[in-house]
Structure 1
Amino acid sequence: MMKIWKTVTFTAFSALTLAACNNSPAEVDGPPVDPGTGNETSSAVESAPPIDQNESVGESSADDSTVNVITLDEALDVYWQEYPEAQIEGVDFDKDWGEWTYEITGVFDNREYEVEINAVNSEIMNVDEDDVDNDNRYLNFDSIMDPQEAIDIARQEVAEDATLEGWNLDVDDDQNRPEYEIEFEGTDDRDVTLHAETGDIIEIDN
């Protein structure tokens, strides 16, 4: 009787174990499927990186093409290194082949030297030598205003979109006074002449 009971118990336990195995979910290769739609689902959702609201796009500032040029004093130092104690007759500042240059004319050792200096790297680009005129007039830089100050005064007389084309500094033969002639280009090309010591406007040419 004991043997029969053990056999029944073992048989029942085996049946329960087999039923439990049959009810376990089957393993399926591949991504899980949404039972409602039949489409594959992803366990993780990739999102685009957040946009920085403080980042400016396509913003640029106006470029002043003369901000990196050497000053007039620095250009004069380059000239005087070649011709010490030379007396200066005039200075031209403009573009030559797309580059800003200083063209300084002075008298040294009874000869006139016109020196073209690159306004960005201070290199001497060209030197012309000539005879000295008898009626030369020379600049006194102790009393002459800085070119930028003269440009700021002259800019008040031209249109807002006017851009600097160049300037010339020399002594007027008739009035015997130092003058800046500032040249602008834009909607109305104008040349503004002013006293290089006082800043007074002398003439405006359209």
Structure 2
Amino acid sequence: MKSKVIFTGLFSLLLLAGCQPNQTTTPSSTTNQSSETTVTSTNKSEDSSTSAGSTDSSSSQTANPDIQVSADRAIELFQNKYPDAAITSLELDSDWGSYFYKIEGVDDQNEYSVKINAMDEKLEAENPEQLDRDEQNGKKKSEDGLDVSNLISIEEAGKIAVEKVGAGTATDWDLDKELGTTYWDVKVKNGNQTTNVKINSQTGEVLSSEIDD
């Protein structure tokens, strides 16, 4: 009888000991899963931040904080002052230390030139000059007048030019005409190299590119 009691007691102890490890490992598994979830969430957050940073960096290559006046607005200011004149030349550069538009135009009798601050729209006009007799009565106006309708923006022209070159920064924009086609001539600087890219001012088509010597 004593042997049966002892055997039953030992069997109970072994059964109890076998159950204890399973009770202690369950919280550990839950903790590991929680840690893995936290790490994954953190990594996703870091990836999102990196992606946002990359987007900001890309857009900063085409945006210029020193140019707050669009080409369309500069043209409008010129036309408000000289409503009968056709624009024959438009330049945007920083030769004076800040970005300015220089716009020239003609009517039937005179030639006009203005300088417009690209930050605050301040306009400075030079004294009109009378056209030569063979340029009057609409001849120069017809021959040299630019098509300023539906222009792509200087930002878009700069982006197209930089993509054509492969790298660099757009620094100067000239609006000109050749064989009846009005185009943007964009200067792109990449290190010590300067490239001029001609772009159709209405369609955005690249017409030519040439590296300055």
What TM-score comes out, normalization by structure 2 length? 0.59
Distance 1:131 1:171, change over 3 A: farther
Q: 2-side partners of 1:165 and 1:112: how far apart?
A: 27
2:173 is the alignment partner of 1:167: yes
Q: Structure 2: which amino acid aligns with 1:158?
A: V
1:9-28 matched pairs, under 5 angstroms: none
Distance 1:140 1:97 in 2: 27
Q: 2:163 aligns with which of 156, 168, 186?
A: 156
Task: Tell me the equivalent position of 2:204.
Answer: 199
Measured in 2, the distance between the counterparts of 1:147 and 1:131 equals 31
Other-structure match for 1:117: 116
The one-letter amino acid of 2:169's match is: T
- 2:135 maps to 1:147: no
CA distance in 2 between counterparts of 1:69 and 1:127 reads 23
* Alpha-carbon separation, structure 2, partners of 1:89 and 1:113: 10
- Indicate conservation of the 8 Å contact 2:161/2:170, yes or no: no
Q: Distance in 2 between matches of 1:201 and 1:92?
A: 19
Q: For the Cα contact (< 8 Å) 1:105–1:113, is it kept in 2? A: yes
Residues 1:98 and 1:114: Cα distance change in structure 2 (over 3 Å): same
Conserved? CA contact 2:85–2:106, under 8 Å: yes
Asked if structure 1 preserves the Cα contact closer than 8 Å seen for 2:113 and 2:128, the reply is yes
* Corresponding letter in the other structure for 2:116: I
Using the TM superposition, give the Cα deviation of residue 97 of structure 1 relative to its aligned residue in structure 2, in angstroms: 2.2
How far apart are the structure 1 equivalents of 2:127 and 2:176?
A: 18
The 2-side partners of 1:128 and 1:186 are apart by 38
Q: CA 1:128/1:99 → structure 2, altered by over 3 Å: closer, same or farther?
A: farther
Equivalent pairs counted in the alignment come to: 145
What letter corresponds to residue 158 of structure 2 in structure 1?
I
In structure 1, C-alpha distance between the alignment counterparts of 2:65 and 2:84, rounded to whole Å: 28
Structure 1, gaps ≥5 residues long: 1-58
Summarize deviations over 1:125-163 as a string: whole Å, max 9, x none: 342533334443212222432332222211111243x12
Report which stretch shifted further, 147-156 or 134-143.
Answer: 134-143
CA RMSD of aligned residues (A): 2.5
Q: Please tell me whether Structure 1 or Structure 2 has the larger radius of gyration of its CA atoms.
A: 1
Q: Percent identity?
A: 24
> 1:181: which partner in 2?
185
Q: Which runs of no fewer than 5 residues in structure 2 stay unpaired? A: 1-52
* Higher helix proportion (structure 1 or 2): 2
